[in-house]
Amino acid sequence: MKSYWAFFIFLLSSCQPSLDRQPRVDVYEPSTFFADKNGNRMPIADTYTHHFLKDKNQDTNPPSSKEEVALLKRGQERYEIYCMVCHGKFGDGEGIVTQRGFSHPPSYHTDFLREASSAHFYYVITNGQGLMTRLGDRVNPKDRWAIIAYIRSLQKKWENKK
């Protein structure tokens, strides 16, 4: 029985993969995996840089490039389909469902949600929270980021109005 346990523990310990020895491509190292043999890869088309969404000042200037305008337009369209009934046109939590007895969602213009990271918004859209249903099965990842960019622009406009 004793040796059985020793063998079991030995088996468990051998399950620890060493991260030093995993297959990987180091910086500037060629790779046989890709057709062009280049280990360095370009970002996938339509990738949005993270700082664009995290930067709180992103809307102090009107979006300059066509992509940004398109992103915000798409975000507005998706927001109005998936979020507005509850969160309201301006994100103040006064969606039409609240007139029919549904609880008020929080306003996006509180300090907490102005300072919350875009990752938090992304998480809530994907998995829901409390009374809010998850929308991960209806809103694809690219559209989630577009909605967040649009909410950031709503927050900025609200701030400027004060």
Name the site residues for ligand HEC (rule: CB under 6 A).
Answer: 82-83, 85-87, 103, 105-106, 113, 121, 124-125, 129-133, 135, 139, 147
Q: Which of 158, 32, 19, 34 is nearest to 89 (CA)?
A: 158
The answer to whether residues 113 and 87 touch, using CB atoms and an 8 Å cutoff, is no
Q: What is the DSSP letter of 130?
A: T
Least spacing, CB of residue 16 vs ligand HEC, in Å: 37
Output 39 or 136, the one with its CB closest to ligand HEC: 136
Output 9 or 119, the one with its CB closest to ligand HEC: 119
Output 53 or 86, the one with its CB closest to ligand HEC: 86
The answer to whether residues 151 and 162 touch, using CB atoms and an 8 Å cutoff, is no
Residue identified by tokens 């998995």 is 127
Which tokens in the block code for residue 53? 């969404």
Taking the CB of residue 82, how many other CB atoms lie within 10 A of it? 17
Least spacing, CB of residue 54 vs ligand HEC, in Å: 15
Distance separating alpha carbons of residues 68 and 70, to the nearest angstrom? 5
Q: What is the DSSP letter of 86?
A: H
Least spacing, CB of residue 44 vs ligand HEC, in Å: 23
Output 25 or 132, the one with its CB closest to ligand HEC: 132
Least spacing, CB of residue 120 vs ligand HEC, in Å: 6
Distance separating alpha carbons of residues 80 and 112, to the nearest angstrom? 23
Output 40 or 133, the one with its CB closest to ligand HEC: 133
Least spacing, CB of residue 142 vs ligand HEC, in Å: 13
